[in-house]
Amino acid sequence: MGIVSAAALIGGVGIFVGLFLGAAAVLFHVKTDEKEEAVLAALPGNNCGGCGYAGCAALAGAIAKGEAPVNACPVGGESAAGKIAGIMGVEGGESIRRTAFVHCLGDCGKTHLNYEYTGVEDCGMIAFVPGGGPKSCGYGCVGYGSCVKACPFDAIHIKDGIAVVDREACKACGKCVAACPKHLISLEPYDAKHIVACCSGDKGPVTMKACTAGCIGCGICVKNCPAGAVAIQDLHAVIDQEKCVGCGICAEKCPRHVIL
């Protein structure tokens, strides 16, 4: 009788729990948007935040509600945008492939050290280090790899003291851009013909002493650009990619070979 009673008790508890969970599932059921689920399935699922939303689920919800464009995911690119456009019944629109670019050429062979730094090797600590780091250029990459740690795609590495981006592996999520305290990294069009690889804010004579590959703001590139795509901002040259025609004259004329 004891065994029978125990079995009956366990069986009764099991039936009660089953009925309770079934009723709870019906009572607290949350209706899901089929489009949102389909959009989420079309996204790559990296949850990198490169779209500006907290993750793929948040972006899927925004797209389903019409609050975000179908090509908002930089990682999925045109492939994901095409699938999502089909789900939403709209045109996919043009998706420009972008890649991260480090505006610094100051590797160990082009700059020198003002002092030997001993401490936590983290780019975020540079704000508390004299001169913006041990390198002679206070605007250049210190090579401590905060961008490397932030990249979820293993697309950026430290080579010879500076960060270098693998263009093919980069998904333009923007994590490295946010991680760099010196704002040396930007997202540029993948097919950009020429980019200025320096962000120095020092005057020409100071830059010349600090780095053999630094822009001195001489303006020769500006004067020779037939499309008016080059300008001097904050004492260094910048190129307007929308105006650039890729003629290469700026790179040829640059005396410091800073334009790649």
Q: How many Å separate Cα 166 from the centre of its chain?
A: 12
One-letter identity of residue 34: E
Q: Decide if pLDDT at 22 tops 90.
A: no
Can you point out the beta strands (E) in 103-252? 156-159, 162-165, 185-189, 230-233, 236-239
Over the stretch 205-247, which tens digit does the pLDDT of each residue have? 999 999 999 999 999 999 999 999 999 999 999 999 999 999 9
Concatenating the DSSP letter of every residue in 188-228 gives EETT-S--B-----S-HHHHHHHBTT------HHHHH-TT-
The reported pLDDT for the residue numbered 147 is 95
Q: How many angstroms separate the CA atoms of 119 and 127, rounded?
A: 13
Answer with the residue of higher pLDDT: 197 or 9.
197
What integer is the mean pLDDT of 12-38?
77
- What's the Rg (C-alpha) of the chain? 27
User: CA-to-CA distance for 89 and 190, rounded, in angstroms?
Assistant: 28
Average pLDDT of the segment spanning 64-88 = 88
Q: What is the value of pTM for the model shown?
A: 0.77
Q: Which residues contact 236 (CB under 8 A, 6 or more apart)?
A: 196, 198, 199, 200, 201, 215, 217
Task: Dump pLDDT digits (tens) for 178-196.
Answer: 999 999 999 999 999 999 9
Q: What residues have CB less than 8 Å from 177, skipping those under 6 apart?
A: 100, 185, 186, 187
pLDDT of residue 258: 96
CA distance 178 to 257: 27
Q: How far apart are CA 173 and CA 185, in angstroms?
A: 12
All structural domains of the chain, each given as residue ranges with its CATH number in brackets, are 34-88 (1.10.15.40), 98-188 (3.30.70.20), 192-260 (3.30.70.20)
